[in-house]
Chain A
Amino acid sequence: MTATLRFVRHHALTAYSALVFAYLLVPIGVVVAYSFNAPRGRFNYVWQGFTFDNWVHWDAVPGLRSAIEVSLEIAALSSLAATALGTLIALALVRYGFRGRGVTNLLVFLPMSSPEIVLGASLLTLFLTMNVATGFATILIAHIMFNISYVVVTVKARLIGFDRHLEEAAMDLGANEWTTFRKVTMPLIAPGVLAAGLLAFALSVDDFVITNFNAGTTVTFPLFVWGAARVGAPPQVNVIGSAIFFVAIAVMLANVLWQLRRPATRPV
């Protein structure tokens, strides 16, 4: 094989990767671009002209603000609850030997591997049978349920990677179990717990399918988008979508930067 051919081959893969990245990122560009569109009529499909109006008057669309508030409340509450419950399960799984480990793993794994529509439908069946009116509380219950598994997986990954000798040392120095947990274990797993909480928050804000089944008349942001899409979504939907995107990217970038910095300060 000649050098030129090898050069072409090498760069073919790079060019291909650039194309795939374009494919992944163009729709995001479309979402952001159309948040600045000034559509005539109901449909925000065709580019009509540039405007900041949609960003300035983001809550000019009735129902949008309250939908966002509901989404944020549910995301905050469900991620807090799921992070607490999931972290405890992860601690038990990694730190202790006990009977029923297999069942526990299965119970954690199953909700993640079931189609969302089945999770949503079965919960609705429960609420219908029990005569529970669907609404804010039932959405919250559902979100905590599907978030627990993701928290367990995330925290477990962090727990497996850490040095047990640090806890042993604390105990040798006379700390009891609770003090050891508070002063040694918790600070060490805190990044994992935080990551799990953020993931749960993001999953909750984004969930449509399960929420759709258990929302009753309560409207979250994805449900609002779904309703709006049937009659032509206003550009304000793109504004909120772009805002969510930028916030998430900022959080992720901060995390990446933090991880780049950490090896230098990490006590191992």
Chain B
Amino acid sequence: MAEAARGLSTPKGSAGGLIHRHRWLTPYLLLTPGLAWLALFFCVPLGFLVHQSLETQNPIDFTSSFSWAWHNYSDALTGYHSQLVRSFEYAAIATAIALLVSYPLVYWIAFRGGRWKNLLLLMIIAPFFVTYLIRTLAWETILSDQGIVVRILRDVHILAPDGRLLATSVAVVAGITYNFLPFMALPLYVALEQIDPRLIEAAQDLYASKPKAFLRVTLPLSAPGLVAGTLLTFIPAAGDFINAQLLGTPGQYMIGNVIQSKFLELTDYPAAASLSLLLMAIIIVMIGIYVRILGTEKLTG
């Protein structure tokens, strides 16, 4: 593609001579302002975050100084072990539920949606048009003790007469699932939509049962969407603190809550910085493992 672009834009005569003589410069001129912004306000800050994570803070005047304080990381791991584990637990459960809930739905839209596809897709992303915090507050209303859900669950004895949903891990996971479900559904839809239905018919013509045709044809072909969807759901879910804050109690707090309060309320910057980087590192490692496993499976399957 790059070659085609170069071929297409061969200078014609000497018009605009300076630009044409330095054509190789053009892409760099286009890139510079945007990439400079990203470098300055994304890369450089990450560097500062690493620097800060290795500082020690004077407990009296809260000034901190750089001291290769690697113990910040081990302190963070031991001190907030439960919140870290909980974050990935909640994120994994929410991602799994989002996958199970949205796969049949987008399958239905992709293969049976007909001319309504776009409208149905719009309905999937509709929750995004209500501000994140407000739709989480709506769940607070729905799951509240006076709400209809709790009343019904109490009536059928799934919940004890004084049982609650709000302020439990169920509420937090439900909130996370709801908030990030469209991130799962959209890539899945894109992958499923591109599948030629004739492939599935062919499998059935060759005597594959319906479940078998699904497992051997549809599912592998939707794998790219599955990978993208789970990552897009899992990453923000693991770093989330809003659902735990609004729908849970400190007993459900995730690592995001700790980072948030350490940065903005306790101003314990070194600990907060090392926790943030730990979160990012674990996520990157998990993504690596995940993509590798799925990648090799696709090769051998």
Contact = CB atoms under 8 A, between A and B. Distances in A.
Contact of B16 (A17, A101, A177): A177
A241 B129 CA distance: 9
B169 to A, nearest CB: 19
Given A28-B126, A45-B140, A256-B119, A208 B132 contact: yes
A208 B239 CA distance: 13
Q: Determine chain A's interface SS by DSSP, over half rule.
A: helix
A21 B141 contact: no
A24 B124 contact: yes
Interface string B107-145: 111001000001100111011111111110111111010
Interface in A234-268: 237-238, 241-242, 244-245, 248-249, 252-253, 256, 259-260
Nearest to B4: A164
B218 interface: no
A144 B139 CA distance: 30
A225 B131 contact: yes
A28 B144 contact: no
B241 A119 contact: no
B133 A115 contact: no
A222 B246 CA distance: 14
A164 B8 contact: yes
A229 B133 contact: yes
B280 interface: yes
A225 B30 contact: no
A7 interface: no
Given A85-B34, A85-B37, A208 B260 contact: no
A128 interface: yes
Interface residues of B, number: 91
Interface in B163-216: 178, 181
B152 to A, nearest CB: 14
A122 B178 CA distance: 28
Given A85-B37, A125-B45, A148-B38, A28 B135 contact: yes
A88 B102 contact: no
B293 interface: no
B43 interface: yes
Contact of A115 (B42, B102, B129, B235): B235
B28 A17 contact: no
Interface in B6-49: 6, 8-9, 12, 15-16, 19-20, 24, 26-28, 30-31, 33-35, 37-39, 41-46, 48-49
Given A24-B124, A233-B137, A252-B122, A116 B239 contact: yes
